[in-house]
Structure 1
């Protein structure tokens, strides 16, 4: 952020954000919040004039996710940051550490990939929740960043993947396809793991739009493979 822009938002009025079921308070500058179409509309509709008591209630939001959104609005990224490993010429997550076992028993690199979401009833991928929040707040660049970061995660337990996929479907409009397509592709790509999963069977019996889309995607995948074999 340039010094001029920084000076500008420092002089901006402060807005209090009351977040989640426990009503945690966050404070942010109005000029920074207004970069989000969602917050810009709320600030224009609800607060007229120079009323210093500006408070926005977000009872359905998770404090940890809003913290990521605010960090992005101020800094252009959120923890763990996306950093370039010059030695290997790859992008990776800052402070990546060994903390997940893959289905074959090996260790996989991850960096605080999940958090407990009360609304989802368990652990979900943070980047999925951030993506859904970015959709809500109209932050397209944050959506792209969250999806890119999620693509760097691996070794996530099957139940977390399925719960996160459900969360993605439940918290994005039907017109949104990038995150949903990411999950469908991931499940198809690692179907040898999912097909023997009791968790997967239970989830399918429960029923969810995710599994209809997965069925269609699998059929299309098989059709593509058949067409390729016929052409060769």
Structure 2
């Protein structure tokens, strides 16, 4: 596979790639060239495609999602769990997305790509991982929320609902954010949904009282 504007090369087995309905459809239209098929994915980011391939082969992507039986809770693998990640990739929650031109949450982009590729299990993993991230700056959250809305269909509600709930829970922080004001001025469905969610939230509080 030739991936991204930098034309990074990735190798993978066709039967593994075919686990994705999106990739399987592309592969069907490709002719064999000396026993191999070459896919060109210029719109994808190599770091995200690496996560997709790792999931297709191993059922997860680094850092892995681990379950603690003692507390019955989920957590992310870190350097203390493995001492060495074996060069598998970054464990950072964010990365620079050239298409956005700024920093966004990596798990959000993985989720949106999984949506396009028809990988429901990967969507669930990416969403759970994103829920475990902490100390993410307000501007990164808002930018990632905008990305989520721009790259998922209106019928896909889980990731969007995650962002709406996150913004409402942290509304005091976002209220002080200059990025929030700028994003609101840009408008769009994100802030329409946020307005509706806030109204519902206020109604719920009124009923409790």
Assess same fold via TM > 0.5: yes
The Cα offsets for residues 186-219 of structure 1, whole Å up to 9 and x where unpaired, read as 0001101111211111111122221111001101
Aligned partners of 1:119, 1:207: CA distance in 2, in Å? 20
Please state if 1:190 is matched with 2:170: yes
Q: What is the alpha-carbon distance in structure 2 between the residues aligned to residue 224 and residue 90 of structure 1?
A: 28
**1:71 matched to 2:51:** no
Residues of 2 paired with 1:76 and 1:119: CA distance? 27
Distance 1:59 1:124 in 2: 19
> Aligned to 2:29, what secondary structure does the other structure show?
helix
Once residues 81 and 199 of structure 1 are traced to their aligned partners in structure 2, the CA distance between those partners, rounded to angstroms, is 31
Q: Do residues 200 (structure 1) and 180 (structure 2) align? A: yes
- SS where residue 27 of structure 1 aligns? coil
Q: Please list every run of at least 4 consecutive aligned residues from structure 1 whose deviation after the TM superposition is greater than 3 angstroms.
A: 85-89
Q: 2:8 aligns with which of 24, 29, 40?
A: 24
Residue equivalent to 1:13: none
Residues 105-184 of structure 1 mapped to structure 2, 5 A cutoff: 111-184=91-164
| Structural mapping, 1:29-44, within 5 Å | 29-44=13-28
Q: 3-state DSSP class of the match of 1:183?
A: helix
Q: Aligned partners of 2:148, 2:34: CA distance in 1, in Å?
A: 37
Residue 219 of structure 1 corresponds to 199
Deviates more, 1:81-90 or 1:216-225: 81-90
Indicate whether 1:210 and 2:202 are aligned: no
Q: Distance in 2 between matches of 1:18 and 1:53?
A: 13
Structure 1 residues 50 and 120 mapped into 2: Cα distance closer, same or farther (>3 Å)?
A: closer
Secondary structure of 1:123 counterpart: strand
TM-aligned CA deviation for residue 88 of structure 1: 4.2
Once residues 203 and 34 of structure 2 are traced to their aligned partners in structure 1, the CA distance between those partners, rounded to angstroms, is 61
Q: Normalising by structure 2, what TM-score?
A: 0.90
TM-score by length of 1: 0.82
Match 1:45 to one of 13, 16, 29: 29
The alignment partner of 1:55 has SS state of coil
Q: 1:226 Cα shift? A: 1.4
Deviation at 1:89, TM superposition (A): 4.0
Q: What is the CA-CA distance between 1:119 and the residue it aligns to? A: 1.0
Q: 2:121 and 2:108 mapped to 1: Cα distance?
A: 14
Question: For 1:97-135, what per-residue CA distance to the aligned partner results, in whole angstroms no more than 9, with x for missing partners?
Answer: 9xxxxxxxxxxxxx5100000111211111000000100
